[in-house]
Structure 1
């Protein structure tokens, strides 16, 4: 079915994704820490390697600060008011922090400072699922994933959040609000995994009253991730390489 060219205002959300499966990380633009923590909201605690949040707990062994699950909402509110560079990873129990060796603690400090790891940053004692790094404007976010399936689930969850929020914003004008929302499943995101290795722009739009779609555009290898969303009009002039119907 032929589709007319869309205006930029017709798109609901954009997400740049560049995946390095070998080193278990992905680069994003258009992903917020709120969206990320909303997906990982079931985790017990977050270790704060780089931050400016003040209402934290302190681990004496590592000399590092952390927040627990019931502090996430306050932590995100503070981050919204005072955005900063951020480096966090998850852990289950403070006792596990006390088992980290000097070498492992040094590695954590290195990651926070350099935004890169010299080995996969997943620790036996912590059993962390991720390491999350972003700049002050959230223009580039780098996430290491222990399980690459979390990457695909996160992408699906981000778009499902957008669809849900769009539906809520229009629900006031409906007489009935019993519409079943379409849902993007992670398996459908994973089906296009080969494309993410070169960097893609994923753009969400509404197809009709009940369906949504995502256009996927391959981007040049030499592109700067932090400039992708600023050059949307230029990228959207190119026909989509792939299409996912939700």
Structure 2
């Protein structure tokens, strides 16, 4: 692992509600851990480059416990690279996995596709997290999609705060807080997320009273392109703006 600055501004989302997975770009593991309402207690590492981890002899997988995850969570600039994991409740449950289930997990990490349900009864997992380049192109399975909207709300607030607190010649040192938009507001875009959408922080407009962030659709390229390049993907149509009122500290949506 190496420490580096992840500076991609915009967030790209492609959602599949049938199998509850979301492909994103612009959301890192640290964002996930800080935003999710039910953080994983332990994670089984299917592919990774983390040195300080424990080893499970039954599956030949490494794993991280709650204290390890807390340390990763507090290093937002850490680049994890290839990072694939499944959460679990107790190591005794991991020791009950069959060879077939272990093989399915290896296939899942290798191809990014599931053979059967990625939610294992023995593990009681809520998530499957798959990436070759963390933050650039992530595919995450959510047992409950509300967890995704919680993560997205955290990221929207974080990136908006970064715009609000950009240093200028006359700026003060006091950083301003931005609250997260509600799940209900974000869910209004669910139909667009299914087709692929961009929350375009790179094109956000800031005035004295508000910040307006375009939501674009009809992306010119597939999101996977962001795994290989840091350039923003263009979109052909703006369908709405997320608007943060600086005086009222409230989010609204202006649809076109």
Q: 1:36 — aligned with what?
A: 32
If the length of structure 1 is used for normalisation, what is the TM-score? 0.80
Shift of 1:175: 7.5
CA spacing shift, 1:78–1:180, aligned 2, 3 Å: closer
Q: 1:70 — aligned with what?
A: 67
Higher share in helix: 1
**What does 1:1-246 align with in structure 2 at a 5 Å threshold?**
13-40=9-36, 42-75=39-72, 77=75, 80=78, 83-136=80-133, 138-166=135-163, 173-174=171-172, 181-204=178-201, 205-209=204-208, 211-220=210-219, 223-227=221-225, 230-232=230-232, 235=234, 238-245=236-243, 246=251
CA spacing shift, 1:137–1:39, aligned 2, 3 Å: closer
- CA distance, structure 2, for counterparts of residue 159 and residue 69 of structure 1: 26
DSSP 3-state at the match of 1:219:
strand
DSSP 3-state at the match of 2:122:
coil
Shift of 1:92: 1.8
1:83-121 alpha-carbon deviations (Å, 9 max, x no partner):
431101211221221222222222111111111102220
| Alpha carbons 1:49, 1:88 under 8 Å: kept | yes
> Is 61-70 or 207-216 further displaced after alignment?
207-216
Structure 1 residues not aligned, in runs of 5+: 1-11
CA spacing shift, 1:170–1:78, aligned 2, 3 Å: closer
- CA distance, structure 2, for counterparts of residue 137 and residue 175 of structure 1: 31
| Alpha carbons 2:130, 2:138 under 8 Å: kept | yes
CA spacing shift, 1:211–1:126, aligned 2, 3 Å: farther
Shift of 1:147: 1.0
- CA distance, structure 2, for counterparts of residue 155 and residue 78 of structure 1: 16
1:123-149 alpha-carbon deviations (Å, 9 max, x no partner):
112121111111136431111111112
Q: Determine which structure has greater relative contact order: mean sequence separation of CA pairs < 8 Å that are 6+ residues apart, divided by chain length.
A: 1
| Alpha carbons 1:182, 1:212 under 8 Å: kept | no
| Alpha carbons 1:24, 1:120 under 8 Å: kept | no
- CA distance, structure 2, for counterparts of residue 42 and residue 185 of structure 1: 19
| Alpha carbons 1:53, 1:79 under 8 Å: kept | no
Higher share in strand: 2
- CA distance, structure 2, for counterparts of residue 127 and residue 187 of structure 1: 27
If the length of structure 2 is used for normalisation, what is the TM-score? 0.77
| Alpha carbons 1:58, 1:65 under 8 Å: kept | yes
Structure 2 residues not aligned, in runs of 5+: 1-7, 244-250, 252-256
